[in-house]
């Protein structure tokens, strides 16, 4: 059985933000992706010549969770609030499952639209603690399985190393066969790996 057939689909998150917060947001997007979350982040998705409104609409339509990054700069941008309004409508109609506000600095009173939602602060506690809470909230909202600690790619690489010297396992994340492996796994090895992977993906 191909390893890719055992991979659960990742939950998908749309990140709404203001470009001046790009340093924080890009790191957040990378952290979420490394923890098994599918991320829609506009600099990664919108290419030169693309229609920005069309791409934003497509991104919103494909995501299960809407994450909005709150800062002094973003709260004054009309399109950020427009995206929030759109997300609330989609939440009420059941098209997304959760709205997660993330505050990266003290920014005064929040919009009344956000009053019902618990805000996750990143500026007054360790980043990893705040990130863990956001990731847990995403997986809980979507009913997805939390991948093993360290991410799927790390787990697969450790699995490959454990099967040396004869293992050569196809890793979809790498897009190629792991290098310097001698031969394909036999049936017994393959069955053992399948059990290990199933166990990993069943963990929360």
- What count of other Cβ atoms lies within 10 Å of the Cβ of residue 115? 7
- 194 pLDDT exceeds 80? no
pTM of the predicted structure, to 2 decimals: 0.69
Q: Model confidence over 24-40: pLDDT tens digits?
A: 999 999 999 999 899 99
Q: Mean per-residue pLDDT for 37-60?
A: 93
Closest residue by Cα to residue 70 from 29, 20, 34, 30: 20
The mean of the pLDDT values for the chain is 78
Would you call 185 helix, strand, or coil by DSSP? coil
Other Cβ atoms closer than 10 A to 60: 18
Give tens-digit pLDDT for 103-144.
999 988 888 889 999 999 999 999 999 999 999 999 999 886
DSSP per-residue codes, 105-119 = S--SSPPGGGTTS--
What is the pLDDT at residue 103?
Answer: 96
pLDDT for the residue 108:
86
Cα(108)–Cα(153) distance, integer angstroms = 40
Rounded distance between C-alpha atoms, residue 88 and residue 116, angstroms: 11
Structure letter (DSSP) for residue 145: P
Q: Cα–Cα distance between 3 and 167 in angstroms, integer? A: 13
CB 66 within 8 A of CB 14: yes
Tokens of 55: 């791409």
């Amino acid at each position: 059985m191909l390893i890719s057939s055992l991979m659960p689909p990742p939950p998908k998150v749309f990140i709404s933000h203001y470009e001046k917060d790009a340093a924080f947001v890009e790191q957040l997007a990378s952290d979420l992706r490394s923890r098994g979350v599918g991320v829609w982040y506009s600099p990664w998705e919108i290419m030169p010549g693309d229609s920005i409104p069309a791409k934003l609409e497509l991104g919103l339509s494909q995501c299960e969770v809407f994450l909005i990054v709150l800062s002094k700069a973003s709260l004054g941008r009309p399109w950020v609030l427009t995206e929030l309004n759109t997300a609330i409508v989609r939440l009420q109609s059941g098209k997304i499952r959760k709205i997660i506000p993330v505050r990266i600095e003290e920014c005064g009173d929040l919009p009344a639209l956000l009053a019902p939602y618990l805000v996750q602060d990143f500026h007054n506690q360790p980043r990893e603690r705040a990130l863990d809470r956001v990731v847990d909230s995403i997986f809980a909202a979507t009913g997805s399985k939390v991948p093993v600690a360290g991410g799927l790619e790390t787990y697969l690489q450790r699995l490959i190393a454990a099967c040396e010297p004869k293992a050569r396992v196809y890793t979809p994340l790498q897009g190629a066969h792991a290098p310097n492996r001698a031969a394909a796994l036999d049936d017994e090895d393959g069955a053992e790996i399948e059990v290990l992977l199933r166990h990993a993906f069943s963990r929360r």
